[in-house]
Amino acid sequence: MAEVALINATKRFGDVAAIGDVSLTVADGEFVVLLGPTGAGKTTTLRVIAGLETLDEGAVRIGGREVSKEAPALRDVAFVFQQYSLYPHLSVYDNMAFPLRSPTRRVPEDEIRRSITEIARMLHIDHKLQNKATRLSGGEMQRVAIGRALVRHPSIYLMDEPLSSLDAKLRQELRLELKRIQRDLGATMLYVTHDQVEAMTMASRIGVLKQGKLVQLGTPREIYEDPAETYVATRLGQPRINLMPRRLFPSLPTPSSAETIGVRTEHLKIDRHHQGAARVARIEHLGDQRYLHLSLEDHSIVTLAGHDTDLDVGDSVALQLERPLFFDRDGMRVRP
Ligand SMILES: Nc1ncnc2c1ncn2[C@@H]1O[C@H](COP(=O)(O)OP(=O)(O)OP(=O)(O)O)[C@@H](O)[C@H]1O
C-alpha cells in the first residue's frame, strides 16, 4: 500500500471546474471518505487518481512518485464503481482471478485460489464461485466486484459508493467487513459515499467537497462537532442540524457576528414544566427513534425525543440551548 496525494489538482469540463485546486493526502493505510452532494466532484477526484481523467493543473503522486502522465494500468490502483462491471461470460471465480492473471503479474494459480477463497468467504459468495457472473443477484454482483478489487494488493483502493445498490442489511454487514478487511490489510482507501453512517463508522478522516473545492478535512468527530461552515454541518447528523436565526433566542449570549445558530439534539434542552415559546407540532415514530418536531414562531426544529418522553402534540415547552454552534451571515463558523 502507499500514500496517495493530489496536489493543487484541477480538472475542468468546458467551463465547469469539476475539481478546483484540490490538495489531499491519503496516508498509507488510511481510510478517507469523500462527502458532498451530487456534482460536488467526488467521482472526478477518484477518476483523476486512477488516471481515467487527465488533470488540467496540478499533480497526482502515488507512493511519492508523480504519476500524472501515466496510463491507468501503470498506476496500480483498484477501482470499485457504484455499478458492478463484471465480465459476463466469465464465472465468479474467473472474474475475481482476472486482475491476478494479467501477464505483468503472473501470480501462481494456487496463490490465486487461496486468495479468492479467503476473500469470497469474507464476502459470502464462496458458494457462487462457479456461477456465471450474469446469474447472480445485483447484490451478489456488487460483492464480486468488491472481491475482485480486494484480491489484489494495489497502492490504493478507490471505491465509488460500492454499497449503495445493496439492501440495508447487507450494506450494514459489508460495511463492517470492508472496514475489518481494510484494517487487516493495512489498505489505503479513498471512498465515496452519501451514507452518513458509512462515513462516520469507516473513515479515519472525512473530506467534504463543495462545488469542486475541498472545504474541510478532519476526523468524523471533527467534521461533526467542529464544522467550519453550515455546509459542512449539514453533511452529518440525523436529524439534520437546525439552522435558526439568532433573533429567535434573544437571551442567549452570542458572538457579535453570529447570525445563525446551529442546533443539534445534544444542544437542546426541552423544559416541559415551563410554558415556553415552542410548541410540539408532530411526533414521528421511526421504530427505534422518535423525531420531535417543534415549532418556534415560523421556524421548525427537529430533534430526537427520548423514549421516556411524555410530550404530546400541542404541548407548549421552553427551550434552552447548551453550547450550540454559531455561524456568520456567510455561513462561516464563529467561535464564542
Ligand atoms: N465527463 C464529463 N463531462 C462533462 N462534465 C462532467 C463530466 N464528469 C463530471 N462532470 C461535471 O463535473 C462536476 C462534478 O461531477 P462528479 O461526477 O465528480 O460529481 P459527484 O460529486 O461524484 O456527483 P454524484 O454524487 O452525482 O456522483 C459536475 O458538475 C458534473 O456535471
Domains in the chain, ordered, with CATH?
Answer: 4-233 (3.40.50.300), 242-251+259-334 (2.40.50.140)
**Quick check: 228 and 332 in contact, CB under 8 A?**
yes
* pLDDT beneath 70, residues of the chain: 308
Rg (CA), the chain: 24
Do residues 50 and 9 touch, judged by C-beta distance below 8 A? no
Q: Which atom of ligand 1 is nearest to the CA of 40?
A: 21
Predicted confidence at residue 239, as pLDDT, reads 94
Burial label for 102, CB within 10 Å (0-12, 13-18, 19+), is: exposed
Q: Is 43 in the pocket of ligand 1 (CB under 6 A)?
A: yes
What does the pLDDT read at residue 334?
97
Give the side-chain half-sphere CA count within 13 A for 321.
21
Residue nearest to atom 2 of ligand 1 (CA): 13
Pocket of ligand 1, candidates 43, 49, 194, 198: which has the most ligand atoms within 8 Å of its Cβ, to mutate? 43
Pull the grid cell for residue 118.
Answer: 479467503
16 touches ligand 1 (CB under 6 Å):
yes
d(CA 48, CA 63): 16
Specify whether the CB–CB gap between 276 and 317 falls below 8 A: yes
C-alpha cell at 43: 467521482
Residue minimizing CA distance to atom 17 of ligand 1: 43
Residue with the smallest CA separation from ligand 1 atom 5 is 13
Task: Decide if 208 contacts 223 (C-beta within 8 A).
Answer: yes
Residues 267, 321 contacting (CB under 8 angstroms) = yes
pLDDT of residue 266: 95
Are 236 and 199 in contact, with CB atoms under 8 Å apart? yes
Model pLDDT, residue 92? 96
Q: Is 36 in the pocket of ligand 1 (CB under 6 A)?
A: yes
Distance, CA of 79 to CA of 159 (rounded, Å)? 6
Task: Find the 41 Cα to ligand 1 centroid distance in Å.
Answer: 6
Helix (H, G, I), strand (E, B) or coil at 139: helix
Ligand 1, atom 4: closest residue by C-alpha: 13
Q: What is the pLDDT of residue 152?
A: 86
Indicate if ligand 1 lies below 6 Å from the C-beta of 38: yes
Measured at the CA of 312, the angle between CA 309 and CA 316, to 5 degrees, comes to 100
Alpha-carbon distance values, 47 to 19, 38, 79 (Å): 11, 16, 9
Ligand 1, from 44, 161, 164: best to mutate by most atoms within 8 Å of Cβ? 44
- End-to-end, the C-alpha distance of the chain in Å comes to 42
pTM of the model as a whole:
0.91
pLDDT at 278: 93
**ipTM reported for the complex, 2 dp:** 0.97
Q: Of the residues 42, 54, 195, which should be mutated to test ligand 1's pocket, given the most ligand atoms within 8 Å of the CB?
A: 42
Residue range 172-192, pLDDT digits in tens: 888 988 898 889 888 999 999
pLDDT at site 83: 73
What's the 146 CA to ligand 1 centre distance in angstroms?
23
pLDDT (0 to 100) of residue 276: 76
Beta strand 156-160 pairing with 77-80:
parallel
212 CA distance to ligand 1 centroid (A)? 9
CA proximity to 240, closest of 259, 227, 222 = 227
Model pLDDT, residue 85:
79
Mutate to test the pocket of ligand 1, among 16, 45, 192 (most ligand atoms within 8 A of CB): 16
